[in-house]
Amino acid sequence: MLKGLRALTMWFAVVGAAVALAVAVMVTWSVIGRAIWLEPVQGDVELTQLGIALSISLCIPWCQLKGANIIIDFFTQKMRTSAIRRLDGFGCLMMAATYALLGWRTSVGAIGVRESMEATMILDLPMWWAYAALAPGLALACLVALVQMVLHFTQSPLGPLEGANA
């Protein structure tokens, strides 16, 4: 199960990176088009906003899995490992709650924006797509944080989840 969760977060991150790369290529093409032909990519700002939001959302689960969030361990450096694991477990619980709240509110926002039929100004893309696209990444990040919480509280090794052979 841990390997499957790790693989899924990795694939989310790969897709997120591909989206970010596609946005970078599109922005580059738009800048070149604006400079040379006076013809930028129509809706480039809208596409950039949507693409980067999606990219970040898809990469958040990998960031959570790798423990790449900011950690201030100045006060815990001399604590016992078991106490640090409990604190880390509590931190994972708080992160899971945050991801769950963001995912829930994003989903509610998507429904509201869909009902109001809001669309982007230039390309007339439905705005609810952007909101809805954020929810899977947030849901997966929540799941990862919950699994990490259980591993911390049970003093189980994190290696299998993080990709180590431990």
Note the pLDDT tens digit of each residue in 16-74.
999 999 999 999 999 999 999 999 999 999 999 999 999 999 999 999 999 887 777 77
- Taking CA atoms, 161 is separated from 2, 71, 113, 153, in Å, by 5, 19, 36, 15
pLDDT interval class at 135 (50, 70, 90): very high
What pLDDT is attached to residue 166?
Answer: 44
What pLDDT is attached to residue 141?
Answer: 97
Note the pLDDT tens digit of each residue in 59-114.
999 999 998 877 777 788 889 989 989 999 999 999 999 999 999 999 999 999 99
What pLDDT is attached to residue 117?
Answer: 95
